[in-house]
Amino acid sequence: MRKVLVTGFDSFGSWSVNPSWLAAQAVDGEVIDKALVVSRRLPVLYSEIRSSLLQLLSETQPDAVLLTGLAGSATAMRVEAVALNLATAPAFGDNAGCRPYKTALVADAPAALFSSGAVHAITRRLDQAHIPVSLSFSAGTFLCNAALYHALHIAKAETAVVFLHVPPVIGMDTAAARPPEMKFDLLVAAYRVVIRELLRRGCSDLTAEEWFSGETSTE
């Protein structure tokens, strides 16, 4: 049976609840399009993020990887198209207080890596499912970006890897500046949509020009 690894993050900063992990837990153990979903939580720690991903990828040997994390200011899903080889933490740092500034995640590695999943098709599929979404070309420079970069750097070439930034959700203890607009059930539905599209599409075969044009079919 095929496997899909889904990750969410631990709580961090002023966020006592991280919906990315709660939604990952909600789909853990499900069989979607004949593939088993295996969900795991990632630490909000620069010192452990790469080793955690190495261990998870080795243990699960997934056919596809859906990484997720909280974007506190977002009101919609963001499908991340690229990860930077750069770490700059916010003022509060990671959960150990580590605050790198303009530091490379991996020495002597590419400055940026494109997602290996079909991000244009995933974005369109979410939109077709009436789930608020946008395609993003900046995953930030905190642990979400680090997770995507490390996963792309580590994973096998044939493994599709995608990162989904999620907004705060209604009814959860939240540090959001404005009231959340996303329902938790819709967040979980979005995970299922992305998983199905990852399994259907596999790795992206876009050229550099297609990455930015978005002129790709979802059929």
Report residue 177 CA to chain centroid gap.
22
Q: Is 219 a catalytic residue?
A: no
Q: Strand order of the sheet with strand 35-42? A: 31-32, 35-42, 2-9, 64-70, 160-166, 77-80, 133-136
Q: Is 80 a catalytic residue?
A: yes
Q: Active-site residue among 120, 144, 150, 197?
A: 144
Q: Is 165 a catalytic residue?
A: yes
CA distance 204 to 77: 20
Q: Where are the beta strands (DSSP E) in the chain?
A: 2-9, 31-32, 35-42, 64-70, 77-80, 82-84, 112-114, 133-136, 160-166
Q: Active-site residue among 120, 150, 165, 203?
A: 165
Catalytic (active-site) positions: 80, 144, 165
